[in-house]
Structure 1
Amino acid sequence: MAQKKAHEVDAWLARPDPRMSVVLVYGPDRGLVSERARLFAERSGLPLDDPFCVVKIDGAEIAEPGQLVDEARTVPMFADRRLVWVRNAGSQNALVADVAALVADPPADCLVLIEAGDLKKNAALRTAVERGERAMALPCYSDDARSLDSVIDNVLSAAGLSISLEARQLLKASLGGDRLATRGELEKLALYCAGAGNVTVEDVRAAVGDVSIAGADEAVDAVMCGRIAQFDTLFTRHLAAGAPPFLMLSAALRHVQGLQLMRAQVEAEGKSPAAAVASARPPVFFARRRAVEQAVERWTLSMLQAAAERLQGAVLKSRQHPAVAASVSRQTLLALAIEGARAGR
């Protein structure tokens, strides 16, 4: 199948396969979709500001089957090939029909680049591209810890800056919801620290806004420590910021998995919760240590295993049924917050 896993996309974009005629870049992180689509367009070698070589179309403009096919098969006049760049694509019938036709019979002198939002595995547009031998589907999901580190290093090193470990942890807690927003915050931080040589915790606090999932760590800590009212306030703020509810579930699941490792040291090795947290790798951010210690003390391994299974089920349900994702996420996390409160009595 013509697709890459999320962690393989950057490597592919560094050396795109020249045989590919149709490339679909899609995912929930619209900033990352846009950044990677532009990178692929630049790799084509065509002048992106030349309307004779690069044609940009909004997906909504493709109302009738054949429009995209006709554009892709237009003979280039002033170059060896052309780039047709479709933005804001979805599974519109006309668009899907044209993409399927181009995948089945790729144009000889044209690249077709398509930007789309989050597409399910069985989405018609995604399926049409993945079936092609000369087509490629590239998923874009929100930055994980490794990709965030890479973006941070790229932007700060280009500005001649290094960053302390604690400042990096604080910075990562405030980034990751959208690649363009992340890059914008990093560039703002680099400008703020220009000439300083090193980025400190104070610099991050002064210059960086919270462009992550609206305080996910704080909300997850509230859940595991049984602070029900605080969780409800933070979750409401999270939704009001326009962040997908399942991201909070994912953050909670990652935290529970980390707690399992720390709690195992308490039960199997006899360590104190504080000692288990202190030995965690990667280190727990200093501002969260007390909350994490409380969670390790309250939740047994069996309780954490049950919590992980509940969260996994909620993540699956929220993705299968987006219309009820907010209520499923709230109910699941609220139930865990109640359990955390009971465990602390």
Structure 2
Amino acid sequence: MKLSAGEVGTGLLKARNVTAFLIYGPDRGLVRERADTLAKSIIPDLDDPFAVTSLTEDDLKADPAALADAMAALSMIGGARLVRLRVSTESAGAPAAAFIADFDAGTLTAEATLIVEAGELKPAGKLRKTFEGSKSALAAPCYSDSPGDLAHLIEESLAAEGLKLTPEARTRFIPSLEGDRSLARSEIEKLILYKGLRGQRADGDDEIGEADILACSVGGGDAELNGIIDAALGGQSALADAAYHRALDAGVSPVGVLRALQRRLDQIGEVHSGGGVQGAQRLGAPRFGPAASGFSRQCGLWRGAALEAARDAAFQAERAMKHGRAPVEALGGDLLAKLALRAERLSG
């Protein structure tokens, strides 16, 4: 079964008798948001290890039966179970396609719901065709918000806190966020915190102007963030560490660095999933000069299992930051160090 792009927002949560979901598209932030919303509708506590199993490409390469085993496992304490799989390429999704085919044929059982997250997939690709052709599975495309959709998201989120954009701020802010739902969410939250929550602001201070956008939006610190990410993904651990701590001293948020890292990994993933350099540039990848050369080198280093491992490490760091398991500054620094060391090994 399949949903149209316009049906995904509500269609995923209304789906019935579905064993597996494939959520895919070029906007990885939107894919992740849709997958998280769906997952929470199935298992409210996604940190429950008895109810949620997360698999990576490396897991499936090490043990081809890992997906089938996870799907067949019974809950130790009763209740629903969920299996999540994030893939970076069409070929990496082959085990999920094989599982659906065998499940439909009656040779495999399922005691859990499967959610697969992927980038852009070609219509003729096996993963997408298998999910679309199955009565027990559902494929849901996630394409970038239109300017109108993005404007609605921003204005609705701000209005919930009694805030609104001036026309000048609207013109500057909205275009800078097109093509990345996770970036949009992050920047909206940053604006709200900058202005203050409802009840925390002075009377009448409910308008966000162009000066507010310039003070805290994504555009102001791009060069600084790119320097950190380029060093980490390029295998320059000492440079990455020094740039990271300079940024922290200047007031840059560790969460902002993490978001920048996730965007860069998504841009690299776009190159490998078929979108090419042009597709990555639509997501904000550098176009010219040394920055573009560095990005090309990063694409050569980070591919397949290595790219998926980096994405998973960033995902786990984000989860840890949200749950306060350690100082966010330390979590961010540890992640950058691990990625830089991995890049050094990949460079050979």
Q: TM-score, normalised by structure 1?
A: 0.58
Distance 1:59 1:102, change over 3 A: farther
Relative to 1, partners in 2 of residues 1:33 and 1:320: Cα closer, same or farther, differing over 3 Å?
closer
Deviations along 1:67-114, one digit per CA (max 9) or x if unpaired, are: 211210112221222101112353333343123323554855310011
Corresponding residue SS for 1:113: strand
Q: Is the 8 A contact 1:4 1:137 kept in 2?
A: yes
Structure 2 counterparts to residues 325-340 of structure 1, below 5 A = 325=278
Following superposition of structure 1 onto structure 2, how do residues 1-345 of structure 1 map, counting pairs within 5 Å?
Answer: 2-13=1-12, 15-63=13-61, 64-88=63-87, 90=89, 91-92=91-92, 93-105=94-106, 107=109, 109-194=111-196, 195=201, 196-210=205-219, 325=278
Q: Give how far 1:182 is off.
A: 1.3
Determine helix, strand or coil for the equivalent of 1:169. Answer: helix
Measured after TM superposition, the shift of residue 244 of structure 1 is 6.8
Secondary structure class of the residue paired with 1:171: helix
User: In 1, distance between residues paired with 2:110 and 2:99?
Assistant: 16
2 CA distance for matches of 1:50 and 1:320?
31
Higher relative contact order (CA 8 A, sep 6+): 2
Q: Which residue is equivalent to 2:324?
A: none
Question: Deviation of residue 323 (structure 1)?
Answer: 5.3
After TM superposition, give the deviation of residue 116 of structure 1 in Å.
1.0
Give the unaligned 5+ runs of structure 2: 224-263, 283-348
SS state at 1:137 partner: strand
Give the count of matched residue pairs: 231
Q: 1:154 to 1:100 in 2, by over 3 A?
A: farther
Report the Cα offset of residue 163 of structure 1. 2.0
Alpha-carbon offset, residue 155 of structure 1: 2.4
Per-residue deviation, 1:177: 2.7
Gaps of 5+ in 1: 215-240, 248-317, 330-345
2: distance between equivalents of 1:149 and 1:10? 16
Q: Aligned to 1:85, what secondary structure does the other structure show?
A: strand
Distance in 2, matches of 1:190 and 1:154, equals: 12
Contact 1:59 1:95 in 2 (8 A): no
Shift of 1:41: 0.3
The percent of aligned pairs where both chains have the same amino acid is 34
SS in 2 for 1:79: coil
1:133-183 deviation digits (Å, cap 9, x = unpaired)? 121111112221122023202321232212233322221111123111111
Inter-CA distance 83–9: structure 2 relative to 1 (3 Å threshold):
same
